[in-house]
Copies of this chain bind each other. A is one copy, B any other.
Amino acid sequence: MSGRGPSNYMHIGHLVIFEFVKWLQDELDAEVYIPLSDDEKYVFGKVKSLKQAYVYAIDNALDLIALGFKKGKTFFFVSTRLSEIYELSVTLSRYLTFNTVRATFGLEGEGVNSGVVFYAAVQAAHILLPTAKKGLLVLVPIAMDQDPYMRLTRDIALKAGFRKPAAIYSKYISGLTREPMSASKPETSVFLIDNEEEVRKKIWSAFTGGRPTIEEQRKLGGNPDICVVYEWLKVFVFKDLKNMNEHAYKCRSGELLCGECKRMLADALIKRLAKHKARKRQALRVIDHFFLHEVEIPSEIIKILE
């Protein structure tokens, strides 16, 4: 299982971990659970209302279904809409003191709201739902920053008599500006709803390992080790190591100019996004089969997909 906090539209970096999850599903014929934590984003103040988070949750779910997860083996749910989640959270909350939550997350003082305190139990419930429901062992591909939750959950699982879940951590991909990708800084990543022009513009402004002038680039070569465009090409475009190494060699030798790499990346991403959008439209027709509760499609989503 792997979750998504629906506080915004998704960018291309978000897909990477779920592509890995899909790969695991294909390899292991595993069931996949994908909680959409509207409650998390709301109690931490990342969205104004649960309603707003719900719109993102459905949008994000469509993006993920578009990756090709198996129907009947993949189960999405919006955290506040599945009463089993609250029930399991309550069960687990007895094994989780305020003190532990505060120490684990370094919450500031006691002005923290009660939803934040309880959310630690809710996230544990997300992770342990497949175990509680069907006795399944759980593997959680997860971003490194979610590690405190994993540790808490493993402790709680033991106390509550469940098998401990396992985690597998993903590396972050650099943002285009070399800061971390962030939904609140659109220039750091390519969003799945960006149009062609936006993609080109963002890639064009990306941080590279290139020289200030063409002459210097030809003479001294570029530095792919610090180049975000090269990093993105590795993640999103190149199929194998040979490909990657050849490209890096050409860069270092001065054969490639940054513009060429940027065009290559932008073209590939634009193609990918177009394909993604088509698949997302198809996902709209099957979304009901992927959810553990009833789903209404917000009108905003229909508009985006027109």
Contact = CB atoms under 8 A, between A and B. Distances in A.
A93 B121 contact: no
A113 B99 CA distance: 8
A113 B87 contact: no
A236 interface: no
A93 B50 CA distance: 12
Interface in A91-141: 91, 93-99, 101-102, 109-118, 120-121
Contacts of A115: 89-90, 93-94, 96, 118, 121
A97 B83 contact: no
Interface string A70-91: 0000000000111101110111
Interface stretch (A39-47, A55-63, A172-180, A263-271): A39-47
A90 B102 CA distance: 19
A45 B99 contact: no
Nearest to A83: B83
Contact of A94 (B43, B86, B90): B43
Contact of A111 (B83, B90, B91, B99): B99
Contact of A42 (B90, B101, B117): B90
B94 A99 contact: no
A116 B113 CA distance: 13
Given A43-B90, A82-B83, A86-B86, 18 more contacts: A39-B90, A42-B90, A43-B93, A80-B90, A90-B115, A93-B113, A93-B114, A93-B118, A95-B113, A96-B114, A97-B110, A97-B111, A97-B114, A98-B113, A98-B117, A101-B114, A102-B110, A114-B118
